[in-house]
Amino acid sequence: MPRRSAESAETLEERWLLEAQTARNLEGLAAEQAGNLAEAIALYERNVAESFVGDLPYGRLVAIYERRGAFDEAERILLRAIAVFEASARRTAQDRRATVRVFKNRLAALRKRKREHSAG
């Protein structure tokens, strides 16, 4: 996707997609709070597949997968988040670097935990 200039407005389709994704995140949080993890996962996974530009669905999925001991799934989500944030034109370079650093640190911690889990 080409980088946006400051004057470049997002398209109507981009706005609708972002609104739908944001609504999905809210539905996912509500499903999670109601104990319906399968629904929450499905909603978050759809946003991940669509390269949602915010970190909420990635963080929530990683937390859910880690609690379940599904380390490969958590790693997949972290790698996807890093790729999406590195390519994001919606964030400043500084914000991009900070967000990517957080997710890379989380990935390193997950991989360590995964090794300890498989060795134990």
Q: CB atoms < 10 A from the CB of 80, how many?
A: 17
Q: What pLDDT shows up at residue 8? A: 60
Instruction: Give the pLDDT mean for 72-77.
Output: 98
Would you state the pLDDT for residue 19?
97
**Structural domains in the chain plus CATH codes:** 12-119 (1.25.40)
d(CA 65, CA 19): 26
SS3 38: helix
Q: What type of residue is 59?
A: G
E strands, the chain, in order: none
Query: Using one digit for the tens of pLDDT, what is the confidence trace for 25-65?
Result: 999 999 999 999 999 999 999 999 999 999 999 999 999 99
Question: In this model, does residue 7 exceed pLDDT 90?
Answer: no
